[in-house]
Structure 1
């Protein structure tokens, strides 16, 4: 029964990741537009996320009307649809007379007064996940220099989405590992996968640009860690770094490798190791892992 409750709680954590965190991908997209507004010559910026081969415009900066809001762009239709399908930036210096795009969205583009348009896809692991547009209210060529900042923005957004995808993958891995009390019932391989996922989540939290998302990732990592351990002994409290070091020891890493992964000196790793061994009242690395599992600190 306890295992079922913990598994249900973990599933709730997974729902939290998808229903609360993933929708904020559009917040990241809108955040990029805010950054771009002061860095590019484009007076009009807009963007949208791609799902099932279609893009819905949801982020805007500098628009004069609501005509583009919620507009759905089909693959290969218009400039953005072409960029989405071909996964490369597309530009039209004279949008309405361009012969290399379809003109399904001319009415909407015209109502915004756009004459020249750039569309840059956000590609993650071979799939187009969004696109960012820059529009000019005059007819003029859109060269590499003008497009450069938009392309860098698309690269940043792609990296952010890839990190979030990896978080989802790790959370799913934890859920499938049968998380919950009873670490002694898990095989060594399953325990190692769980520990690797904790460490990956913590690493991602440290690398993500969005501070709020980083804090959320750390909170999810801590929640999942508590669920997949066996009911931690409250008499032993490890610091975050001590837990990291112990986790790598459980994966079979030596001090030099741990130091490299955590960007610490070997002597600092040894100090953490001595401290956690004293807390666990053991005399060796192996005993530390065994005792930590017995006390519910590791899966």
Structure 2
């Protein structure tokens, strides 16, 4: 049930967003293991993304729709919590031996849904039968929505410029590095080092500018916000990262959209990339 397998288009689009989401799930909920799988076809969910303590028993496991926790989540298209995976009557127990090998008990899972169909599942698991709190379920649901936004945004970019999912996934990682470099540069007290980081982030835009598009001038803060929007982040999350209010972020997004003549956040990102403001 495990081993090397070819990378599917879904894998290419989801790999980065899923791993990032799982890191946040573990950090914000405190679960010792966060993991996820991609729906490969209408029949199964392949587990292949892990953040936290694992013995590897789950790696590569194909979960059939309707069975186990993830399979039921896919079948019902909604989050589910079980206080003891090995004994709960809410799910089938086809995978008990694997779950026992991992030493997992209480568990929650939430689907990532695009176009009304599940494309992935995020899990948070404990090694005890302590009840999974509302906080953990909320974190899972929030991160599932964030992944959905990133997938939709990546797909729109593919449709807009004809890039393959693999190239779009690479662009997402580049966009993430660009956003992080800008934020770190702003927080440094060392002006010389901050300037050096700024030059590095600017170098990521080399070759991105298009002579066919008019030049658009955004403020540094508008670029910071738009760089986070490109990663599928919500206004609340951007506000937390930048240390401002969600209303302030909303204002920056609105101003950037106006300057870029965009009617949606996604359109603003696409146009910003077209004129070389974002990588």
Structure 2 matches for 1:76-115, cutoff 5 A?
76-115=66-105
Structure 2 matches for 1:274-289, cutoff 5 A?
none
Residues in 1 aligned to 2:160 and 2:260: alpha-carbon distance in whole angstroms: 28
Q: Does the alignment pair 1:37 with 2:12?
A: no
Alpha-carbon offset, residue 65 of structure 1: 0.7
Alpha-carbon offset, residue 125 of structure 1: 2.0
Alpha-carbon offset, residue 209 of structure 1: 10
Q: Deviations over 1:29-74 (max 9, x none)?
A: 1111122222113111110111212211111122331111111111
What TM-score comes out, normalization by structure 1 length? 0.54
Partner of 1:56, secondary structure, is: strand
Q: 1:130 to 1:19 in 2, by over 3 A?
A: closer
Residues in 2 aligned to 1:21 and 1:75: alpha-carbon distance in whole angstroms: 18
CA RMSD, Structure 1 to Structure 2 (Å): 3.9
Q: 2:216 aligns with which of 228, 232, 241?
A: 241
Q: 2:111 aligns with which of 100, 112, 121?
A: 121
Runs (5+) with no aligned partner, structure 1 = 1-17, 176-200, 227-231, 233-237, 243-258, 267-299
The answer for the alignment partner of 1:67 in structure 2 is 57
The answer for the alignment partner of 1:28 in structure 2 is 17
Structure 2 matches for 1:136-147, cutoff 5 A?
136-147=126-137
Q: Does the alignment pair 1:164 with 2:154?
A: yes
Partner of 1:263, secondary structure, is: helix
Residues in 2 aligned to 1:47 and 1:21: alpha-carbon distance in whole angstroms: 13
Q: 1:138 to 1:22 in 2, by over 3 A?
A: closer
Maintained 8 Å contact 1:160/1:208: no
What TM-score comes out, normalization by structure 2 length? 0.57
Q: 1:149 to 1:209 in 2, by over 3 A?
A: farther
How many pairs align? Answer: 189
Partner of 1:100, secondary structure, is: coil
Runs (5+) with no aligned partner, structure 2 = 1-6, 180-200, 218-253, 262-279
Q: 1:143 to 1:208 in 2, by over 3 A?
A: same
Partner of 1:97, secondary structure, is: coil
The answer for the alignment partner of 1:55 in structure 2 is 45
Q: Does the alignment pair 1:211 with 2:176?
A: yes
Residues in 1 aligned to 2:256 and 2:127: alpha-carbon distance in whole angstroms: 50
Q: 1:146 to 1:170 in 2, by over 3 A?
A: same
Of Structure 1 and Structure 2, the greater helix share is in 1
Alpha-carbon offset, residue 157 of structure 1: 0.8
Alpha-carbon offset, residue 107 of structure 1: 1.1
The answer for the alignment partner of 2:244 in structure 1 is none
